Amino acid sequence: MTHPPVLPFVVAVDGPAGSGKSSVSKEVARRLGWGFLDTGAAYRALAWHVEASGVDTDDPASVISCLDSFAYRIGTDPTGYSVHVGATDVTHAIREPGISGVVSRVARVPEVRTHLIELFRAIMAAERRGGIVVEGRDITTVVAPDAPARILLTASEEVRMARRSAELVGHSAAATGAQLQARDAADSKVVDFMNAADGVVTVDSTDLDFDETVEAVLAVIRDAQVRTG
């Protein structure tokens, strides 16, 4: 007798740049023994691939022409996170300010979003751990609107800018802050990740430290597990 595949418990996390989505979601997944999917990494890796192909990131048709050759690989193990495009390990390269500065241009192209959203859903469906924490900008609303736990992780702009510039040693705090603001402004034209959609729980980490934020997210997940039996 064949059994239908057991679907993982999906935790959808959205929020603005520097709100802690990636670091907090990864730690939550690690503590639960679940998978972790950073969807922003795919948009970043595509921006990297477009630039490496010598193509203008500002030209939608050229960006679309790079999709067929975009050999993207990401694992869902929160303890062994790495991102590849073909044979190249781009895990660190995609975090560079140069990529942060152009990623919104590729992310605004509807064909890109359709392509990557399909990929994210396939990765989620293939997850063999009990659950998967998926973070991005449109996970609670577009990628996984039926997820049992949906969270908007936010923090004041001032705090997000300070956290991001503490990470980027050697870059000016003013330039880092300006880039974060510009990216949020560009991304907000495509998806709304500043306001919680119906049924989405807001976790505001402005006055929480990292561990308190992880605990707050875990509490939302526990509530959702009780609710969904």
Ligand X SMILES: Nc1ncnc2c1ncn2[C@@H]1O[C@H](COP(=O)(O)OP(=O)(O)OP(=O)(O)O)[C@@H](O)[C@H]1O
Question: What residues line the site for ligand L45E5XJ5 (CB under 6 A)?
Answer: 17, 39-40, 43-44, 103-104, 107, 136-139, 183, 187
14 touches 153 (CB < 8 A)? yes
Burial 92-114 (b: 16+ CB within 10 A, else e): ebbbeeebbebbbbbbbbeebbe
State the binding partner of 127 from ligand X, ligand L45E5XJ5, none, CB within 5 to 8 A by kind: none
Q: Which of 210/222 has CB closer to ligand L45E5XJ5?
A: 210
Q: Is 19 annotated as a binding residue?
A: yes
Min dist. Cβ of residue 172 to ligand L45E5XJ5 (A): 19
201 touches 151 (CB < 8 A)? yes
Min dist. Cβ of residue 135 to ligand L45E5XJ5 (A): 7
No. of H helices and E strands in the chain?
A: 9, 8
State the binding partner of 23 from ligand L45E5XJ5, ligand X, none, CB within 5 to 8 A by kind: ligand X
Positions that interact with ligand X (CB under 6 A): 15, 17-24, 40, 163-164, 167, 205, 208-210, 213
Q: Is 53 annotated as a binding residue?
A: no
Distances (CA, A) of 76 to 33, 55, 123, 223: 11, 29, 8, 24
Min dist. Cβ of residue 60 to ligand L45E5XJ5 (A): 14
The phi and psi torsions of 85 (rounded to 5 degrees) equal: -120, 110
Q: Which of 40/131 has CB closer to ligand X?
A: 40
Q: Sign of the C-alpha dihedral, residues 112, 91, 195, 216?
A: positive
Angle at 203 between CA 156 and CA 180, to 5 degrees: 35
For residue 172, what are its two tokens? 């000016």
Min dist. Cβ of residue 179 to ligand L45E5XJ5 (A): 10
Q: Provide the β-strand partners of residue 202.
A: 152
Min dist. Cβ of residue 228 to ligand X (A): 26
State the binding partner of 188 from ligand X, ligand L45E5XJ5, none, CB within 5 to 8 A by kind: none
Min dist. Cβ of residue 92 to ligand L45E5XJ5 (A): 13
Q: Which of 17/123 has CB closer to ligand X?
A: 17
Q: Is 62 annotated as a binding residue?
A: no
The 3-state DSSP class for residue 168 equals: coil
State the binding partner of 44 from ligand X, ligand L45E5XJ5, none, CB within 5 to 8 A by kind: ligand L45E5XJ5
Nearest to 11 by CA among 144, 129, 125: 144
Q: Which residues are annotated as a binding site?
A: 15-23
Q: Which residues are annotated as a binding site for ATP?
A: 15-23
